[in-house]
């Protein structure tokens, strides 16, 4: 995305970066652009947020392969905090970006030796294994990490992602359930579990997925993904060989989900212009006829 830099004041940019930090958006390219265009000259004005913004920019620059910017910002940080573990970790990340993983590991091991309770260095070690494509080793490492830091939500989430990459759905669901205990009101976690259960397939999993989708809808009634997931689940159950009563129930529920979806869609449609959608519809209808 590009912004009109002249309209943005440096405090707007500061707020934007803070928002991205809090929501963990990975907008590395935008961060680097905004840094170059707006914030770099105003570095003195940033106050107590200066260091955390520098760190954010370093990581974003590494993410985009902009070594020049990363080095410049890192120099500032090293000059101020030559012994900081956090800066050492950034150095390790720089080596990771250059793909000299051995040097990065050396630094990280040094950090862990000095401070055994430093979680971020251990997490970077997992990330290195991930970057090398050694998913199974990464899983082993992160499991080891989780025996020491059991309440680390990020790590549980990452473990879930790794299990999903390895298509080990049972264990991925376990990780997600662990997260759900920390955050029972997050509709996204319910949605995640429902999606995984749906992917696993089978009538029993469909039933579980259905209840998770329902709970996600309860927590966030405007979520289309949950509604559509519910519809698919119900469709699956209706076409399965379960008890008739259950099938009937699923059918009505599926109908309800569908009406909700179309209601939301018609609301959205009325906002945009109807003409184009009608044209698209007719185009698809033509395709159907040709297909037959």
Partner 1 sequence: MSVKILNKLLLTIGVISLLHAAYSAAQYRTFLRITEQDSSQLPFDIVLQALVSLFVIVYNIIQVVGDFKEIRAAVELQEKTWETLSNIPSFYIFNHRGKALAPNYVPPSGSGKADLSSAD
- Binding residues for partner 1 (CB under 8 A): 23-26, 28-29, 59, 62-68, 93, 96-97, 99, 120, 123-124, 126-127, 130-131, 154-155, 157-158, 161, 183, 185-188, 191-192, 219-220, 222, 225
Nearest to 165, CA basis, from 144, 147, 197, 139: 139
Identify whether the C-beta of residue 234 lies closer than 8 Å to the C-beta of residue 246.
no
CA 267 to chain centre: 28
CB of 67: closest distance to partner 1 in angstroms?
7
CB of 179: closest distance to partner 1 in angstroms?
10
Task: Tell me which residue has tokens 């590395």.
Answer: 28
With a CB cutoff of 8 Å and minimum separation 6, the contacts of 88 are 107, 110, 111
CB of 36: closest distance to partner 1 in angstroms?
11
Structure tokens at 277: 């959608």
CA 31 to chain centre: 18
CA angle at residue 200 from 204 to 166, to 5 degrees?
150
Q: Rounded distance, CA 173 to CA 179, Å?
A: 10
88 or 130: CB nearest partner 1: 130
Identify whether the C-beta of residue 219 lies closer than 8 Å to the C-beta of residue 183.
no
Residue 11 is classified by DSSP as H
CB of 32: closest distance to partner 1 in angstroms?
9
Residue 149 is classified by DSSP as S
27 or 246: CB nearest partner 1: 27
157 or 247: CB nearest partner 1: 157
105 or 242: CB nearest partner 1: 105
Nearest to 101, CA basis, from 70, 134, 68: 134
Q: What angle do helix axes 187-200 and 203-219 make, rounded to 10 degrees?
A: 160
CB of 247: closest distance to partner 1 in angstroms?
30
CB of 47: closest distance to partner 1 in angstroms?
19
CB of 255: closest distance to partner 1 in angstroms?
25
61 or 237: CB nearest partner 1: 61
124 or 238: CB nearest partner 1: 124
Q: Rounded distance, CA 254 to CA 236, Å?
A: 10
21 or 247: CB nearest partner 1: 21
């Amino acid at each position: 995305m590009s912004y009109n830099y002249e309209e943005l004041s440096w405090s707007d940019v500061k707020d934007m970066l803070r928002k991205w930090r809090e929501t963990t958006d990975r907008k590395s390219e935008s961060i680097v652009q905004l840094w170059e265009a707006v914030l770099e000259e105003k570095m003195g004005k940033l106050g107590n947020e200066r260091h955390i913004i520098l760190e954010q920019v370093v990581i974003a620059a590494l993410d985009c392969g902009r070594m020049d910017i990363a080095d410049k910002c890192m120099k500032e940080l090293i000059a101020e905090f030559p012994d900081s573990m956090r800066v050492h970790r950034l150095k390790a990340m720089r080596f990771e970006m250059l793909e000299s993983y051995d040097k990065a590991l050396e630094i990280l091991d040094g950090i862990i030796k000095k401070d055994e309770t430093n979680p971020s260095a251990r997490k970077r070690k997992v990330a290195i294994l991930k970057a090398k494509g050694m998913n199974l080793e990464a899983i082993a490492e992160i499991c080891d990490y989780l025996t020491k830091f059991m309440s680390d939500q990020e790590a549980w989430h990452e473990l879930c992602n790794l299990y999903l990459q390895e298509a080990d759905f049972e264990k991925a669901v376990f990780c997600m359930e662990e997260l759900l205990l920390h955050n029972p009101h997050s509709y996204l976690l319910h949605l995640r579990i429902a999606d995984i259960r749906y992917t696993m397939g089978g009538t029993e999993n469909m039933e579980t997925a259905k209840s998770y989708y329902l709970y996600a809808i309860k927590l966030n009634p405007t979520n289309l993904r949950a509604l559509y997931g519910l519809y698919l689940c119900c469709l699956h159950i209706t076409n399965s060989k379960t008890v008739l009563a259950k099938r009937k129930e699923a059918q009505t529920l599926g109908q309800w989900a569908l009406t909700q979806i179309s209601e939301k869609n018609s609301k959205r449609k009325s906002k945009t212009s109807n003409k184009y959608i009608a044209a698209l519809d007719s185009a698809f209808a033509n395709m159907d006829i040709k297909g037959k």
